[in-house]
């Protein structure tokens, strides 16, 4: 099992990025860089590539709307080059509030877009001319634009002919598609003991169609980590995030995380959290987040308990444990967890 973590920053990502050097020495395998509607991920990923030597640098995630497939191909190839073959590209549909609100693009056909983006990136990394007919048509037909488009291949030779392409997916159809065509899967708010009942059928359906040319699907999931005899209270630090996603990350009827909570069996709590959150009662919404979910989805407690949670994630198929240390010495925490996952 590999060890990964999201790069958490508030305001100035350079300050957090500087910590990655120490985390790399402690054994961190992958760092994930987010990009919802803040600073762009590739710029920071390039900065990390210059500051580090061995850690994989993952986009977690780039949405499949705001950049063309050609631009995503260029980003994947460019980041893989400056990192010396350490790039990992996480892709996803994001959500309608970000895509339509921040980027001004219609949120349509997310699964088809993701599938085609993966096809085109892989085609381009093999330095094949970009020819595609689907949601994305390459080159543009002669009756559109100036009619001068022609098939082009990537100008530079990529560092690798294939860069790992991961997909952030929660819905059944999206997870099945991910299991079929992606190199890795990025679930969120993961509950190891309930993963099989929620996603098992979709994962199996996708795996049955998976090309033998692809390696087995990788999975990265995890949560906050704190090791100690009296640290359970730190779980409350996760309540605002769970409440934000379940209650406020999307409109009523269009909140994937609220649907996930329902799939986990928290229908009543999901409705209460959303009602409270959308009414501006964020603290009350946070109080409704089930403690069982917080305990299962994070690694907070005595060493023996944290090791039990690691085993639960491993049993659920997680190949890259994703952790966010909440300690005075994150480097030491990463080193300890690395020892356990290895």
- The distance of Cα 115 from the centroid of its chain, to the nearest Å, equals 16
User: For position 268, what pLDDT does the model report?
Assistant: 98
Mean per-residue pLDDT, 98-110:
96
Mean per-residue pLDDT, 156-176:
97
Look over the chain and give the mean of its residue pLDDT values, rounded to a whole number: 96
Residue 166's region, left for phi above 0, alpha for psi from -120 to 50, else beta, is beta
Query: What residues pair up with 322 in beta bridges, in sequence order?
Result: 4, 222
User: For position 12, what pLDDT does the model report?
Assistant: 82
- Its pTM stands at 0.96
User: For position 11, what pLDDT does the model report?
Assistant: 73
The string of pLDDT tens digits covering residues 260-294 is 999 999 999 999 999 999 999 999 999 999 999 99
User: For position 218, what pLDDT does the model report?
Assistant: 98
pLDDT over 90 (residue 16) = no
The string of pLDDT tens digits covering residues 206-228 is 999 999 999 999 999 999 999 99
Q: Compute the distance between CA of residue 190 and CA of residue 236 in angstroms, rounded to an integer.
A: 17
User: For position 203, what pLDDT does the model report?
Assistant: 98
pLDDT over 90 (residue 321) = yes
Q: Compute the distance between CA of residue 141 and CA of residue 131 in angstroms, rounded to an integer.
A: 11
Helix, coil or strand: residue 66: coil
CA atoms within 13 A on the CB side of 329: 8
Instruction: List, in order, residues 6 or more apart from 216 with CB less than 8 Å away.
Output: none
Q: Compute the distance between CA of residue 38 and CA of residue 62 in angstroms, rounded to an integer.
A: 12
Q: Compute the distance between CA of residue 203 and CA of residue 93 in angstroms, rounded to an integer.
A: 18
For residue 91, what pLDDT band results from cuts at 50, 70 and 90? very high
pLDDT over 80 (residue 117) = yes
**Helices (H) and strands (E) in the chain — how many of each?**
14, 9
pLDDT over 80 (residue 246) = yes
- The distance of Cα 46 from the centroid of its chain, to the nearest Å, equals 18
Q: Compute the distance between CA of residue 331 and CA of residue 99 in angstroms, rounded to an integer.
A: 36
Give Cα separations from 59 to 46, 81, 161 (angstroms): 11, 15, 18
Q: What percent of the chain has pLDDT over 70?
A: 100
Before 61, cis peptide (omega within 30)? yes
Q: Compute the distance between CA of residue 82 and CA of residue 127 in angstroms, rounded to an integer.
A: 18
pLDDT over 90 (residue 310) = yes
Q: Which of 54, 28, 56, 55 shows the shortest CA–CA distance to 330?
A: 28
For residue 162, what pLDDT band results from cuts at 50, 70 and 90? very high
Q: What percent of the chain has pLDDT over 90?
A: 93
pLDDT over 90 (residue 13) = no
pLDDT over 80 (residue 9) = no
């Amino acid at each position: 099992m590999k060890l990964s973590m999201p790069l958490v920053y508030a305001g100035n990502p350079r300050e957090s990025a500087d910590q990655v050097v120490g985390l790399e020495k402690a054994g961190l395998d992958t760092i994930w860089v987010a990009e919802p509607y803040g600073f762009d991920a590739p710029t920071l990923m390039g900065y990390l590539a210059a500051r580090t030597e061995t850690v994989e640098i993952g986009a977690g995630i780039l949405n499949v709307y705001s950049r063309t497939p050609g631009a995503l191909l260029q980003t994947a190839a460019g980041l893989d080059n400056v990192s010396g073959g350490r790039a990992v590209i996480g892709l996803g549909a994001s959500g309608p509030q970000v895509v339509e609100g921040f980027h001004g693009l219609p949120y349509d056909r997310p699964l088809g877009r993701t599938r085609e983006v993966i096809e085109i990136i892989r085609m381009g990394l093999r330095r094949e001319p970009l020819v595609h007919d689907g949601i994305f048509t390459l080159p543009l037909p002669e009756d559109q634009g100036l009619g001068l488009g022609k098939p082009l291949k990537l100008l530079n030779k990529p560092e690798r002919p294939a860069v790992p392409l991961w997909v952030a997916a929660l819905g059944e159809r999206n997870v099945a598609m991910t299991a079929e065509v992606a190199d890795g899967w990025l679930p969120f708010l993961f509950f190891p003991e309930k993963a099989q009942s929620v996603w098992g059928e979709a994962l199996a359906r996708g795996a049955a169609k998976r090309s033998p040319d692809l390696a087995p699907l990788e999975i990265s999931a995890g949560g906050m980590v704190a090791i100690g005899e009296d640290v359970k209270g730190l779980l409350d630090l996760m309540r605002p995030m769970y409440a934000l996603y379940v209650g406020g990350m999307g409109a009523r009827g269009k909140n994937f995380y609220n649907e996930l909570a329902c799939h986990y069996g928290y229908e009543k709590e999901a409705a209460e959290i959303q009602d409270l959150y959308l009414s501006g009662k964020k603290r009350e919404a946070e109080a409704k987040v089930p403690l069982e979910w917080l305990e299962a989805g994070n690694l907070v407690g005595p060493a023996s308990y944290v090791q039990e949670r690691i085993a639960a994630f491993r049993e659920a198929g997680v190949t890259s444990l994703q952790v966010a240390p909440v300690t005075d010495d994150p480097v030491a925490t990463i080193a300890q967890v690395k020892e356990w996952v290895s």
